[in-house]
Amino acid sequence: METRNANKNEATILLEEKEDHFLDFKSGSIAPNKLQESFVAFANSDGGDLYVGIEDEKFCGDRIKGFDKPEDANDIIGVMLEQTSPAVENVDIEFICFETGGYVLHFSIPKSPKVHYTAQGRCFIRVNASRREIKGERVLALGYAKGSYQYEKQPVQARFRQFFRQPRQPDSY
């Protein structure tokens, strides 16, 4: 995991960005399992960037409120990488150190070819600047669209009827 200092105008540029289908800002005080919902939504959709330690646009005051030290985000990283099922591959993680705001955790999440679930077994997708939980047929449709489920390989339920035949009588001559 890389730790780097923020570029000269990076705070200004980030704070001018609007949350959308590919970008989300989360408070550093968010519960890891709640953050995992957004993490899974990005992986199940088109991927995107998730910044932890930047308050929502509606917040009054300094929006960059990162972690005091990178180790303070260990629980969050552990839940994202170890408790997402299946694990999301090729996630880039970095800490960006802002002089007055602390360390902001940045996840760059790729679009995944698999369907992912939170530790609670819930499935989410990203819709514009929000996440939506999907269930049942919607999860199945997502799997088909990603190619992770193949219709031809899905089990089907079948009922069999047994037919009893009368034993054949030998022909009489």
Please write the tens of the pLDDT for every residue from 126-160. 999 999 999 999 999 999 898 865 555 556 576 76
- Are 71 and 3 in contact by the 8 Å Cβ rule? The answer is no
Closest CA to 37 of 87, 80, 96: 80
pLDDT in tens, 62-96: 999 999 999 999 999 999 999 999 999 999 999 99
Beta bridge partners, 49, equal 23, 108
Q: How many CB atoms lie within 10 A of CB 54?
A: 27
Length of the chain equals 173
Produce one character per residue of 141-162: b if its CB has 16 or more CB atoms within 10 Å, e if not.
ebbeeeeebeeeeeeeeeeeee
Segment 32-52 shows an average pLDDT of 97
What's the chain's Rg over C-alpha atoms? 24
Q: Note the pLDDT of residue 7.
A: 92
Cis peptide before 86 (omega within 30 of 0): yes
**Residue 168: band (very low, low, confident or very high) from pLDDT cuts 50, 70, 90:** low
Cα separation of 7 and 105, whole Å?
15
**Residue 4: band (very low, low, confident or very high) from pLDDT cuts 50, 70, 90:** very high
Mean pLDDT of the chain: 90
Beta bridge partners, 3, equal 95
Cα separation of 100 and 49, whole Å?
22
User: Around 93, how many Cα atoms within 13 Å sit in the side-chain half-sphere?
Assistant: 16
Q: Note the pLDDT of residue 61.
A: 87
